[in-house]
Amino acid sequence: MVLIKCLLPGIIFLASGSLALTTCNGHEELCSRQYSNVSFIGAHNSPFVGCLPQQNQEWSVTRQLDNGIRFLQGQTHRAPVTGSLNFCHTSCFLENAGTVTQFLRTVKSWLDIHHNEVVTLLITNGDSVPIAEFDSAFNSSGIRDYAYIPPVSPLAMNDWPTLQDLINAGTRLIVFLDYGANVTEVPYILEEFEYYFETPYDQTDCTFSQCRIDRPSKASASGRMYLVNHTLNIDLLNTGILVPDRDGAATTNSLAAIEAQTDLCSSLYGRRPNVMLLDFVDKGDIIGTQNKLNAL
């Protein structure tokens, strides 16, 4: 069957004269959903890939995207010697995954060939680097044109565009920064905690028996999306040194474990989490769980 052309947003006419709806993030049903009403499985520390204790993922960033991850998180620091802005885990001496520009080029290359996908980046600013340096990395990578700029900031939860709106406008990248954002200077890098609250991180309790608001301090859940840190750590020999629980990831990332925490969160806040942030997204039925969270 031959595609003729797309005449209306979200609709493709086929040579047979029949209609085929396009998908948004892989599903027709998501096209009409507001961004703020979609649940994402997120890759925690997505650039830190490998088998070492300080690394949180086993799939490359491209493979994470290829396998359905649409929310990528990572922490940045200024690299010693070069002074470049890099994705580093706590310290660039401990784990250095390369420059932010290189990472953004990888994401851009993927977006270039996947036209119906909306991707979110959550970047942490570990060294309080000025926002202009993040803007420079986005410009150098060529990805800036994909970034969504809200008409007002902060944008109310019920004012977010649908995924189809974002796709039609070509603004398929949503960018959040935890600290140091300044939308007056760089309007597409949004202040995370104006839009989200987060549950506690560095968890060592495998039951995930809480869903309290950790950041921002004393925040109200009303009017904010929310991110659940569903990542499990091991305290090495009770030293206080935490490393990701790689061996237990399949259990942590199972549908049963994720649903147990999302049910708890939903009972507290009256709605499903917007993001479940996970280590080792190659483990467990991640996309099946994401689909279930979105009632697909």
Active site positions, annotated: 44, 89
- How many Cα neighbours within 13 Å face the side chain of 222? 1
Report d(CA 204, CA 99) in Å as an integer: 30
> Contact at 8 Å (CB) between 190 and 153?
yes
Report d(CA 38, CA 120) in Å as an integer: 12
